[in-house]
Amino acid sequence: MNRKSVYFIYFVAKAQRQEPKFPCISLAMFFFRLISRLPLPVLYLFSDVLYLIARYVIRYRKKVIDENLRHAFPEKSAEERKAIRNRFYRNFTDAFFAETIKMLTISEKELRQRFQVVGQEIIDAEVLKGKSSLMMAGHVFNWEMAILGVALNTQVTAETVYLKLNNPFFDKLMLAIRTHFGGVMTEKREFRKSMITMRSEPRIVHLAADQRPPGKEKRYQRDFLNRPAYFFEGGEFMAKKMELPVFFGTMTKLKRGHYRFEFDPLASPPYENAAPHSITDEFCRRLEDNIRQQPDLYLWSHKRWKV
């Protein structure tokens, strides 16, 4: 989850981004676990209220969303882009409030009913043969549920690389959610150490590969949704250096609270004749296809194209 977006979960209480002042982290965690026990249809009622506030009251990052959609879909009319924006607000509040909170205590049975994973066996097969594999995906709703879905369905270890949140409580909350079914979370700054064991301890490594890299880091620029954008190339570097297979995860929303996540091969070794940036370029092409299928599922509120 994008670190700025997490704060939206509690924006009703504090419209400005300030750290919530809970009496203690354990009490706050108990509160969220209690709320998480509510059925998802009940949590969606709260999400409905947040949707109205986000869309009509605070108009959450409306200028950013409109600018991103205007560049991404110049062929669409203003009314069509407005419809995408409004559906985005719905998906945003559903994913970041109702569904994310529910995942803290969701049962295995309910998650299997709500989240289908297709093709898990093809990526597991590589790991079972002794080869770590990379899974690359973008910020398409509900990517947080994908972390749980893969951990629940895989026969092997699934590790996700994440960015630590500034707020200690919400960082702890998201770790509790993401590891609910045994997934391994590794903070980005610690991942270099984790890479050393990828040969001796084969596993799936999940990368959200559409994050915008900071200027101080090495990055690759290419067009993405009709505008120049920067990308991390850690996945490409690892795959080609260690001869790892790469898979892409396509997200589809079937209906409210129900998703399908499908694995497909993206690249495979040997890479000695592969063009520079070939893996990143193919990832971007696949992600654009995924976004165009259901554009309201992408994280348009993120300042993705900021230089």
Q: Which of 214, 169, 196, 212 is nearest to 21 (CA)?
A: 169
In this prediction, residue 307 carries a pLDDT of 65
Q: What is the pTM of this model?
A: 0.89
pLDDT tens string 188-210: 889 888 888 998 999 999 999 99
Are residues 209 and 138 in contact, defined by beta-carbon separation less than 8 angstroms? yes
pLDDT in tens, 79-130: 999 999 999 999 999 999 999 999 999 999 999 999 999 999 999 999 999 9
Distance of CA 279 to the CA centre of its chain: 19
User: CA-CA distance, 7 to 19, in Å (whole number)?
Assistant: 9
Judge whether 295 and 84 are in contact, CB under 8 Å. Answer: yes
